[in-house]
Amino acid sequence: RRRNHLLRPLKNRFASNALAFPQAPAHGLDLLDPMASRPAPELRLSLYGGTAGTQAELNAPERQGGYTSGLRLEMKINEGWSVVSGLLYSRKRFAHRYPVVRNNLPEWGKLEGDLSMIEVPLLLRYNYPLSHKLRVYAQFGLVTAVSLAENYTDFNPNDPVNALASRRADPEDLNPNELSWSLNTYPGNLQIATGLEYAFSDKLALQVEPYFQQSLQRTKGSASLGFQKKLYTTGIATALVFRLNAPQ
The CATH number of 41-243 is 2.40.160.20
What pTM did the predictor assign?
0.78
Residue 76, Ramachandran bin (φ over 0: left; ψ between -120 and 50: alpha; else beta): beta
**d(Cα 43, Cα 70) in Å, to the nearest integer?**
17
**d(Cα 137, Cα 128) in Å, to the nearest integer?**
6
Instruction: Give burial (CB, 10 Å; 0-12/13-18/19+) of 83.
Output: middle
**Residues 230-247: tens digit of each pLDDT:** 899 999 999 999 999 866
- The residues near 228 (Cβ < 8 Å, ≥ 6 apart) are 218, 219, 220, 222
Cβ–Cβ under 8 Å, residues 173 and 231: no
Diameter over CA atoms, the chain: 128
**Residues 5-57: tens digit of each pLDDT:** 555 555 555 455 544 444 545 455 455 555 556 778 899 999 999 999 998 87
What is the domain partition of the chain in residue ranges?
41-243
Tens-digit pLDDT string for the chain (248 aa) = 555 555 555 555 545 554 444 454 545 545 555 555 677 889 999 999 999 999 887 666 677 889 999 999 999 999 899 999 999 999 999 988 888 887 777 888 888 999 999 999 999 999 999 999 999 999 999 999 999 999 999 888 888 877 777 766 677 778 888 889 889 999 989 999 999 999 999 999 999 999 999 999 888 877 777 778 889 999 999 999 999 986 65
List residues bridging with 44 in a β-sheet. Answer: 74, 243
Phi, psi of 38 (to 5 degrees): -95, 125
Q: Which has the closest alpha carbon to 155: 110, 113, 114? A: 110
